[in-house]
Chains A and B, each alone.
Chain A
Amino acid sequence: MLRRLRTISIASVTVVVLSTGCSTMGDSGADATEPSPEAAAGSQDVGGKVVLVSHESFNLPKKLVAAFERESGIDLVTRSAGDAGTLTAKLSLTKGNPTGDLAFGVDNTFASRPLDEGVFATYEPTLPAGAAEFALEEGADKLTPIDVGHVCVNVDTEWFEQEGINPPETLADLVDPTYQDLFVTPGASTSSPGMAFFLSTVAEYGDDWPDYWTRLLDNGAKVVDGWEDAYFGDFTQGGGKGTRPIVVSYDSSPAFTVPKGSDKSSTAALLDTCFRQVEYAGVLEGAANPDGAEAVIDWLLSTEVQAALPTAMYVFPVSDEAEVPADWAKHAVQPSAPMTVSPADIAANREQWLTEWTDVVTR
């Protein structure tokens, strides 16, 4: 009898555990709810649910989103996963029956393919001052520039001071024996900043890039998988136990390495080595709520959102009207003449470049 009781009690505990808190069941409706009646009443023109598809770095302050939802009557749902490449592949695969209404995060290295395939619908908002500079040459009627960042070689200025060596300044310096075994970069095939750095070498050396890369590797350059590995694993200022004082990172990175109680960053970006990455947003062809999607793009261009971008996503706003945070203004310097390669060129050559690059690196 006692045994039987115990069996029953174990069974009932199991049932209780499953049917109450410890399950995701019954939770699925949470954000599929329709916008509340008041919200719908508050909106004059748009409203409804808008789904924003993005990559995993997408992030905006909750307060801003809530204020937008209140004012517009829109219920904004974001679905983000993977990196820019995954996002682009996802958009291409779901062309015509998209998982959302608009997409954010396709950048200039990936823009060409989804544009050619007709993933995006036409929408050309009025751009804030300064943003036109970042618009695409082809496809500006479909993709709207939202933010800009530069991938630059960063150096540990403290390390170079201590060693009494002048830090490098250009891509050519990196193959100088002075800097042997000091440089680490994420791979072009596995990382988006890695790809950007590779493209800056293409922009600088044209068809001779394989020769440059051979010399770079002969000089002891280390190629790792992702930016995290390079920065946190190998870079001397990455918080880990890195041994390499030169790394591929962003123009904004120096703003994050200001020691407490100091007003000088311990790292610097080399402004002659930068590749420009612009991220775009666009309304998706076949969107359930295209009007709502357009309203969200307008909102992304608003001064409030633009000003929030540096802190939230580590990128610079495209709008001149938005003010960047004080520590950015002080420590993160943007290059004036970054390197570029046209999206069409990238699309046409990506596969061949990456194959050749992999051959050079694994030789």
Chain B
Amino acid sequence: MRRWLTLALLAAGPVLVVAVFFVLPVGGMVARGFVSDGVLDPGGVLQVLARPRVARVAWFTVWSAAAATAISVLLGLPAAFVLHRLALPGRKMIRAALLVPFVLPTVVVGVAFRLLLGEAGPLGFLGLDGTPVAIVIGLVFFNLAVVIRAVGAAWESLDARPAEAAAALGASPVQVWWTVTLPALRPAIVSAASIVFLFCATAFGIVLTLGGVRYATVETEIYLLTTTLFDLQAAAALSVLQLVVVVALLGLAARLRAVPDATAARTSSRPRRIRSGDVPALAVTVLVLGLVAAPIVTLVLGSFRTEAGWSLGNYRALTGVGSNDALLVPVTEALLTSVRTAVDATWMALLMGLAVAVLVTRRSQSRSERRVRSLLDGFFMLPLGVSAVTLGFGFLITLDRPPVDLRDSALLVPIAQALVALPLVVRTLVPVLAGIDDRQRQAAASLGASPWRALLTVELPVVWKPLLAASGFAFAASLGEFGATSFLARDDNPTVPIVIFRLIGHPGELNFGMALAASVVLAGTTAVVMLAVERLRVPNVGAF
């Protein structure tokens, strides 16, 4: 009985938040689609799904997201190994820099990619502009960091001794990888892959900019149906389709993630020296860095180009409001708003994420308990897989009456961003927490430790580093969030991505240059914060 009570207490907060800020709005919006002229009309919704265009759009979404996920994992694994296990000089810098794509507003990345792949760009001869290949490359660019960070965090704390033992017993490196390392990493890999897939399947801006109008995904189609055509029925049909696919995917991921014994010994092993056998992994890492660096370099170069030649003019202009008052507030002020909002979103996401992660990784004593825990696990992943357009409009029509008339509240932005970051936090923490041997907790308890003390001495030391990784993630995700924020932010308090979008939409060379400069500043801020987070030393909590 007491177990259920603890479970309920831990779950109550996060469940309530997700219910009010996610289930209610999305439900409200979908309900609008199911009711036409005051009568419930599920048949009409089903008819929408039979349209040939819907099938085409759904198929494109699934295959492009699957391809991008596969490539991200294939490229990300060697890079995670190199950056988290090898004593590569400057690896902390590189790790921080790799998170940069994650915060770049999609509009800017779109422009950068098009400068690169466009007809006159340095890679224009490849003829990739406006092709599905460009979309997939763009998606990989955004999501590589997720794989590297999530898998890297698990890899870093992986005990090296079983692999060494296998090698000492005569296993080849390939055999060690297949029989020892990969099984131990599988939960983390599946976690990362499922997140990347959800991100790719709901990608919006990048598909629009890189795919032109030729390629539509479920997400862009929902946007078109809702805003331009106001066909709420069709939009609801697609939202439901999205939900069904996401739930199915989460079920599959949970199955793949489950390993007979999640308990892998965790240590903080030290990075080892580079050996000749690491060359292939190093080569892939260089390729990854090149893929990430190319668009960013284009951006940085563009940001220094002004009418008067190369100069810092675009950066100096950031304290102003652009030519012809393109902005309501200077970019510097928006940066402050961005950071403050991101701090709020980060602690909200961490608080909820920790509760959820502890909740779903505790050993269950009965089958029903296990089922409840795994249902909760999936529940908190849902916000990633659902259209930001549906959610944004849903806010408008459901949170519009007391006691929750929040349509104009400044709090809505960090809450929405925290919802986006929550799955990242959960998925980073769960594999690590699940790896803790329950006997350690039991030992602590039998030695007289209270549950709190057991948490502090057993869990916290192991989870500390992944927790830092997760907070970095949450912070970056929140800094770069555009979809929901553009819907909810107020004009007097815009965040940097919104300001950049505004600058790019206003004619004038200065505004374009300022947009690029602001992107560079945003990217730089993220990298600096990431570096600071990584540098925090782990205090020995056991001394309490």
Q: Which residues of A contact B (CB under 8 A)?
A: 3-4, 6-7, 10, 17-18, 21-25, 27-28, 30-32, 56-57, 59, 61-62, 78-83, 85-86, 88-90, 92-94, 97, 99, 113, 187-190, 195, 222-229, 231-234, 239-244, 253, 256, 260, 311-312, 314, 350-351, 354-355, 358, 361-362
Contacts and interface: CB of A to CB of B under 8 A. Distances in A.
Contact of B224 (A7, A32, A57, A189): A189
Contact of A81 (B325, B344, B487): B487
A244 B114 CA distance: 14
Given A24-B411, A189-B228, A56 B505 contact: yes
A279 B309 CA distance: 38
A99 B407 contact: yes
Interface string B462-490: 00000000000000000000000011111
B400 A24 contact: no
B212 A187 contact: yes
Nearest to A253: B507
Given A233-B115, A239-B509, A241-B121, A18 B343 contact: yes
Contacts of B121: 241
Contacts of B540: 3
Interface string B101-124: 000000100110011001111000
A292 B509 CA distance: 38
B210 to A, nearest CB: 8
Interface in B208-263: 208-209, 211-214, 220, 224, 226-231
B212 A225 contact: yes
Contact of A350 (B214, B229, B343): B229
B83 interface: no
Given A24-B410, A59-B326, A242 B212 contact: no
Contacts of B414: 24
A246 B532 CA distance: 48
A24 B341 contact: yes
Contact of A351 (B130, B229, B324, B486): B229
A94 B397 contact: yes
Interface in B344-403: 344, 347, 393, 396-397, 400-401
B141 interface: no
A224 B107 CA distance: 13
A243 to B, nearest CB: 5
A94 B502 CA distance: 25
B214 A97 contact: no
B328 interface: yes
A358 B341 CA distance: 39
Contacts of A229: 110-111, 114, 209
Contacts of B212: 187, 223-225
B409 interface: yes
B60 to A, nearest CB: 11
B512 A81 contact: no
A241 B115 contact: yes
9 contacts: A4-B543, A31-B492, A56-B502, A89-B227, A113-B230, A190-B208, A224-B130, A229-B209, A243-B118
Contact of A89 (B208, B230, B505, B509): B230
B486 A81 contact: yes
A90 to B, nearest CB: 6
Nearest to B536: A10
Which among A10, A83, A225, A361 has the highest number of chain B CB atoms within 10 Å? A225
Contact of B227 (A18, A80, A83, A240): A83
B541 interface: yes
A21 B341 CA distance: 11
B438 interface: no
B272 interface: no
Given A3-B539, A256-B507, 18 more contacts: A21-B340, A24-B337, A24-B414, A24-B493, A78-B491, A79-B408, A81-B486, A89-B230, A99-B400, A189-B213, A225-B110, A234-B119, A240-B118, A244-B119, A311-B324, A312-B324, A354-B224, A354-B229
Contacts of A240: 111, 115, 118, 512
A260 B508 CA distance: 13
Nearest to A311: B324
A190 B340 CA distance: 33
A21 B543 CA distance: 32
A233 B325 contact: no
Contact of A362 (B32, B115, B118, B214): B214
Contact of A232 (B53, B489, B504): B504
B413 interface: yes
A93 B111 contact: no
B36 to A, nearest CB: 14
A118 to B, nearest CB: 15
A314 B507 contact: yes
Contacts of A244: 119
Contacts of A59: 325-326, 328
B490 to A, nearest CB: 7
B35 to A, nearest CB: 13
Contacts of A234: 118-119
Contact of A242 (B120, B343, B393, B501): B120
Contact of A99 (B307, B324, B408): B408
Given A226-B209, A361-B213, A24 B539 contact: no
B339 interface: yes
A52 B540 CA distance: 54
Nearest to A361: B213
A89 B390 CA distance: 12
Contacts of A61: 325
B544 interface: yes
A82 B486 contact: yes
A89 B226 CA distance: 7
A231 B407 CA distance: 35
B340 A7 contact: no
B505 A57 contact: yes
A7 to B, nearest CB: 4
Given A82-B487, A229-B110, A6 B539 contact: yes
A85 B505 contact: no
B539 A228 contact: no
Given A28-B411, A97-B401, A225-B212, A10 B347 contact: no
A191 B343 CA distance: 34
B505 A228 contact: yes
A251 to B, nearest CB: 12
Nearest to A185: B213
Contact of A90 (B325, B326, B396, B512): B396
B118 A23 contact: no
A187 B506 CA distance: 18
A187 B208 CA distance: 10
Contacts of A241: 115, 118, 120-121
Interface in B198-214: 208-209, 211-214
Nearest to B224: A189
B307 A260 contact: yes
A233 B111 contact: yes
Contacts of A28: 409-411
A250 B118 CA distance: 23
Contacts of B508: 256
A17 B343 contact: yes
A78 B486 CA distance: 14
A280 B407 CA distance: 24
Contact of B539 (A10, A79, A188): A10
Contacts of B115: 233, 240-241
B421 to A, nearest CB: 15
A79 to B, nearest CB: 7
Contacts of A242: 118, 120
A90 B486 CA distance: 13
